[in-house]
Amino acid sequence: MPIATTNPFTGETVKTFHADTDALIEEKLQKADRAFRAFRRTSFAERARLMSRAAGLLEERKEALGQLMTLEMGKLRKAGIGEIEKCAGGCRYYVENAERHLLPQTVQTDAKRSGKRFQPLGPVLAVMPWNFPFWQVFRFAAPALMAGNVGLLKHASNVPQCALAIEAIFRDAGFPDGVFQTLLVGSDKVKRIVEDPRLAAATLTGSDGAGRSLASIAGAQLKKVVLELGGSDPFVVLPSCDLDKAVEVAIAARIQNAGQSCIAAKRFIVHQQIADDFESRFVKGMAALEVGDPQDDKTQVGPLASEQVVQDIEKQVRRVRDEGGRIACGGERLQRPGFFFAPTVILNAEGTAVWKEETFGPVAAVARAKDLGHAIALANDTQFGLGATAFTQEPAEQERLIAELDAGQVFINGMVKSDARLPFGGVKQSGFGRELSEEGIREFTNVKTFWIG
């Protein structure tokens, strides 16, 4: 895949980039190695000063950075600005909490003194996706750098200007040379970089296929990895819910980022008692969405990120017609310039392609449940386990859903989202390890035991 900026609204390639040569990759690895040796010894106060400056630069540049996301992957203008503001908030969370999360801990044993310390590992490679091109990177970089590591970013090939802008933020904030670098490389170079002995660990957000590949490479080198992979998140609606709110959130949860989100709700499981009403309102709401120019604030669904994304969702929906699902609205590519797909609802979707596979686009799969137990079984009927949403006012149902849904995070009466204060990650084929919060910053540390007799 070429490293290039292609405007999803028009389909036109507006800028191409030369990939880093092997010699330049080697230079950047050397620089990262040198930078880590010095940066690991800096104080939390110094790292916090630099990270605070990065947060300030994000806010100062949020209009321009949001525009870059709109240009490169079609994000709605307002959503792009919101993403940059979220990055600034994530930076400030670790400015305020990193030292507390990594304080040495004393443990009473038979020693005179013993306990744990948390120390940085070294250079970490981040293989990042295009769908949240700033937030995905900053939720890795803020904790990793605050812990004393250094970062190397291999971003998706369709967002090179976002990748370079992120490097510029850290450079302009005053982080030492080599502490955060962007590598303009294709996926074919990842193996060589991970195998390099100077690299300590890696993290990837992306498909389960990409995760398997990175995990196998890193595993052969006995290197730590964190994987945040795909999702086919369930959205359970039970009779006691506020149905108006459930429908409103269901639409927002499916179309966020034009449906291109691993934690977007994708499979809607509705109790049969309220299914007719929910489906009628849900279909009407999805069909009425404004699709168009991501620069226009009236637009609710923008273009998909690339021609390949459109083709993938087209194939999945085409198969549904032969698998017993019923297309209640949408179901096809929109005939206009750019990469657009109509907001789509598929009823009787259990067992179809859009039920079994991750869908990256504004396509919702709906199925009916006989009771709470059946709803949980349907929700767990997936290879993925990233997030889950449920709407119910019954405390007993809420507790059972939290206990029994196979997911890294369960949200009751609200949409799944990432929050720097809470750990984020999945189970099953949605990956392993955690980002954000206390757990996230400790992922790329050596949890060192000390014992003094």
Q: Which domains are present in the chain? A: 4-229+427-452 (3.40.605.10), 233-412 (3.40.309.10)
pLDDT of residue 191: 98
Contact 249/347 with Cβ under 8 angstroms? Answer: no
pLDDT of residue 3: 98
Contact 170/77 with Cβ under 8 angstroms? Answer: no
pLDDT of residue 1: 79
Please name the amino acid found at residue 397. E
pLDDT of residue 377: 98
Contact 240/394 with Cβ under 8 angstroms? Answer: yes
Q: What is the pLDDT along the chain (453 residues), one digit of tens a residue?
A: 799 999 999 999 999 999 999 999 999 999 999 999 999 999 999 999 999 999 999 999 999 999 999 999 999 999 999 999 999 999 999 999 999 999 999 999 999 999 999 999 999 999 999 999 999 999 999 999 999 999 999 999 999 999 999 999 999 999 999 999 999 999 999 999 999 999 999 999 999 999 999 999 999 999 999 999 999 999 999 999 999 999 999 999 999 999 999 999 999 999 999 999 999 999 999 999 999 999 999 999 999 999 999 999 999 999 998 899 999 999 999 999 999 999 999 999 999 999 999 999 999 999 999 999 999 999 999 999 999 999 999 999 999 999 999 999 999 999 999 999 999 999 999 999 999 999 999 999 999 999 999
Please report where in the chains the tokens 């293989």 appear, as a residue. 127
The residue among 206, 357, 331, 330 whose CA lies nearest residue 267 is: 357
| Whole-number Å distance between alpha carbons of 365 and 270 | 11
Count of alpha carbons within 13 Å of 360, Cβ hemisphere only? 22
Retrieve residue 409's tokens.
């995070």
- The answer to whether the predicted template modeling score (pTM) of the entire model surpasses 0.95 is yes
Q: What does DSSP say about strands 123-127 and 12-16: parallel, antiparallel, or unpaired?
A: unpaired
187, burial (CB in 10 Å: exposed 0-12, middle 13-18, buried 19+): middle
Contact 386/286 with Cβ under 8 angstroms? Answer: no
Residues with a known catalytic role: 228, 262
Contact 119/446 with Cβ under 8 angstroms? Answer: yes
pLDDT of residue 194: 98
The residue among 174, 186, 166 whose CA lies nearest residue 25 is: 186
For the sheet with 105-106, list strands across it.
105-106, 113-120, 445-452
237, burial (CB in 10 Å: exposed 0-12, middle 13-18, buried 19+): buried
